[in-house]
Amino acid sequence: MKIIVARSGRDFVLTAADIISAHLSDVTTPVIGLATGDTFTDVYRELVARYRDGRLSFAKTRALLLDEYAGIAAHHPQRFRNVICAELIDRTDLTADALHSPDGNAKDLQQECARYDRLIADAGVGLQLLGIGQNGHIAFNEPGTSFSSGTHVARLTAETRRDNARFFPSPPEVPRYALTQSSGTILMASELAMLARGKSKARAIRQAIGGPVDTSVPASALQLHAKVTVIMDREAATELA
Ligand code: GLP
């Protein structure tokens, strides 16, 4: 596992954007796993800037989302698919057809999870981007979730719903369920890049990197992967030895 502690906020963004840019440029038909969340906003903005400068193109890229809220209105701005449309598709040459995501409004959610697993296996993710929850979750794999559960319907913990309330007009509007890739599915990607910013992530980062591999800290599953880069700022690194 390669651990990078960024010197500044700008260094954090550039380091992450460089890893993504390198992957998109090195591979003929890149398949990238996208994460949503505050951590990625500035990174995606940097990718848009590079696209506008002519330094980066997503024309041949397919993108797969990690997760999606269940039962969220199709046009809700916080539907993860819509977040990525606003952050990348509307601003670059990544097309809506090239963006795949689990449908949180599917009639049969179990079937939808199985469909998404097949799609991921067929696509073969090259570089998977990940954030980390304050409780150590990756995607929406909450503590205690089996690594090998496949894409599944997750019941969000009270802590995760509280954390994500900042994105919604009021806390009760945060969905209670989501469809999420499992940790095991995430580990199938050829390369992983996990990003963490801020003091609120320090404990989760310590447990994920330095603690035992255990489902109580879903992000600890990353220790099982051969090619992982963790990029963090100084605040997120404060509990590392
Ligand atoms: C959400 C997402 C995760 C993300 C995490 C951290 O719950 N499902 O994929 O990593 O939040 O988000 P943020 O970057 O906003 O802290």
Answer yes or no: are the C-beta atoms of 83 and 36 closer than 8 Å: yes
Q: How far is the CA of 126 from the centre of ligand 1 (A)?
A: 20
Q: Which atom of ligand 1 is nearest to the CA of 35?
A: 9
Residue 43, amino acid? V
Q: Give tens-digit pLDDT for 143-168.
A: 999 999 999 999 999 999 999 999 99
pTM for the model? 0.96
Active-site option among 46, 82, 117, 135: 135
Closest CA to 104 of 155, 68, 156: 68
Report the nearest atom of ligand 1 relative to the CA of 67.
Answer: 8
The 10s digit of each residue's pLDDT in 72-98 is 999 999 999 999 999 999 999 999 999
CA of 231 to the centre of ligand 1 (A): 15
* Catalytic option among 82, 100, 112, 137: 137
Q: Which candidate in 67, 87, 112, 233 is catalytic? A: 67
CB of 132 closer than 6 angstroms to any ligand 1 atom: yes
How would DSSP label each residue in 189-238? SSEEEEEE-SGGGHHHHHHHHHS---TTSGGGGGGG-SSEEEEE-TTTTT
Would you place residue 53 in the very low, low, confident or very high pLDDT band (cuts 50, 70, 90)? Answer: very high
Active-site residue flag, 137: yes
- As a whole number of angstroms, the distance between CA 122 and CA 137 comes to 25
Q: Is the pLDDT reported for residue 219 higher than 90?
A: yes
Beta-bridge mates of residue 31: 62
Ligand 1, atom 3, residue with closest C-alpha:
139
Cβ(164)–Cβ(80) under 8 Å?
A: no
- Is pLDDT above 90 for 241? no
The confidence score (pLDDT) of residue 44 equals 98
Ligand 1 center to 205 CA (angstroms): 13
Tokens encoding 220: 């600890």
Please, what is the average pLDDT of the chain? Answer: 97
Separation between Cα atoms, residue 197 and residue 238, nearest integer Å: 11
Annotation marks residue 142 as catalytic: yes
Q: How confident is the model at residue 210 (pLDDT cuts 50, 70, 90)?
A: very high
Q: Is 33 in the pocket of ligand 1 (CB under 6 A)?
A: no
**How many whole angstroms from 115 Cα to the centroid of ligand 1?**
23
Closest ligand 1 atom to Cα of 180: 8
What mean pLDDT comes out for the span 186-215?
97
**Full strand arrangement of the beta sheet holding 99-100:** 2-5, 228-232, 191-196, 127-130, 31-34, 62-65, 99-100
In the chain, pLDDT over 90 holds for what percent of residues?
Answer: 99
The answer to whether the CB of 35 is under 6 A from ligand 1 is yes
Q: How far is CA 20 from CA 5, 192, 198, in A?
A: 17, 11, 21
CB of 67 within 6 A of ligand 1: the answer is: yes
Over 90: is that where the pLDDT of 34 sits?
A: yes
The residue type of 106 is: A
- What does the alpha-carbon distance between residue 204 and residue 227 come to, in Å, rounded to a whole number? 20
